[in-house]
Amino acid sequence: MTLAIFLGTLGGALAIGVPVAFALILCALTMGLYLDLFDPQILAQRMVVGANSFPLLAIPFFLLAGELMNAGGMSKRIIAFAGSFLGHRRGGLGFVAIFAAVIMASLSGSAAADTAALIAMLLPMMRAAGYETGRAVGLMASGGTIAPIIPPSIAYIIFGVATNVSITQLFLAGIVPGLMMGIGLAITWAIVSRRDNVEVMPRQGLQARLKATGAAMWSLGMPVIILGGIRFGIVTPTEAAVIAAVYAMFVGMVVHRELSLPAIYEALRNAAVTTAVVMLLAAAALTTSWFIAIADLSGVVMDLVEPLADNPTLLLVVIMALVLVIGMALDMGPTILILAPVLLPVVEGAGIDPVYFGVLFVINCAIGLVTPPVGIVMSVASGVAKLPLHTVIKGSLPFVLTQILVLFLLVLFPQLVLAPLEFLR
């Protein structure tokens, strides 16, 4: 009955257009009434406790770092660096977009910001070279979703806070799957673009490549500092986020000298607005999670999937398919905050590593960013490129299918995630 109340309240509220955060608060209220635990003070206290989290403090700083990185010229230098080595190949600008997406993912962790930056800088060049616009935008939108997979990732922070799983371990475990996503996109692009009759960029000489590498060195140094500091225990993910924001501001203002005071104000404003949205969601979802724990909703779900408990792979396939469908209707943050606390005890009961499950869950949610009808990254790509949404969706289809294939490859072969994690621990 508790599960029916939870699903009915949440589904009904979302169906009539209630914002996700308020739908979650309504879920907490109805579950509190059913469990005879309703007290306005409990709701208020749980929301304060949910938002009062040191790991969540990393979110505004990583968001700010991403904004400063784009405004301060770091992104365009990464693209120029990638272009100097890959631009002369057939389909070269597509490979530049993928390579830049992977590098930028290790800097900001924001799929929407990375997608917007890639399209704004590369789409005019790809149009001029004769690339099919819808497919080019679909590629860059799919490439942008690597950002939540490769650390530093806001999605891993949210998952870690919601489930009490080590954020540091999630960061380290996400490196190889993120690179696999990039490789998968590159292989798919090589196949779908091989018949395109497009102009290629002239081959860059050694001197030009060294110059582009030197210009991008400050940008390329940022992930080394962040991930190296986390890996060797020098800083926590939250402290690394602060370092990333300060580093991006220093490079933009002192080194590249492209970051003006108005641009800093705009970056602070954008980061603050996004942070407010995420923190309200987190506070509401963690309040609901408290009632979920009291009602033992995970135990109810575990009873439902008990026939699959003896086959962890089959259980993961079913869960991933379920999350993939839900991710088409919900944004990444709500999907993690609603489902992860319910599903994690189920997979742990089946003997599945929680860090491994967290990486798969985040990859699944990242794919949801480029699938209709919600697909936040699709909407961003459509807006920046000034293309109809259906054109972007059609262009991204082969790349989304590749990402789903990589996801289920990781489900079938867990060592692709676990073996590198053991090496990096």
Instruction: Find the distance separating the first CA and the last CA of the chain, reported in whole Å.
Output: 42
pTM over 0.75: yes
Contact 6, 292 (CB under 8 A): yes
Task: Give the helix, strand, coil percentages of the chain, each rounded to 5.
Answer: 80, 0, 20
CA distance 102 to 179: 7
* Residue closest to 34 by CA, chosen among 5, 59, 57: 5
Along the 425 residues of the chain, how does pLDDT read in single tens digits? Answer: 666 777 788 778 877 878 878 888 888 888 888 777 777 777 778 788 777 777 888 888 888 888 888 788 888 888 888 888 877 777 788 898 999 889 888 877 678 878 888 888 888 888 888 888 999 999 999 999 999 999 888 899 999 988 989 998 999 999 999 999 999 999 999 999 887 777 777 788 888 888 988 888 998 888 888 888 887 888 888 888 899 899 999 999 999 888 899 999 998 998 888 888 888 888 887 788 777 777 777 666 667 766 776 788 888 998 998 888 888 777 788 888 888 888 898 888 888 999 999 999 999 999 988 887 667 888 888 888 888 888 998 999 999 999 999 999 999 999 999 888 887 66
Compute the chain's Rg from CA coordinates: 22
253 vs 249: CA distance, rounded Å? 6
CA 85-86-92 angle, 5° bins: 160
Task: Using the structure block, give the residue that is written with the tokens 């996400």.
Answer: 174
Retrieve residue 422's tokens. Answer: 């053991």
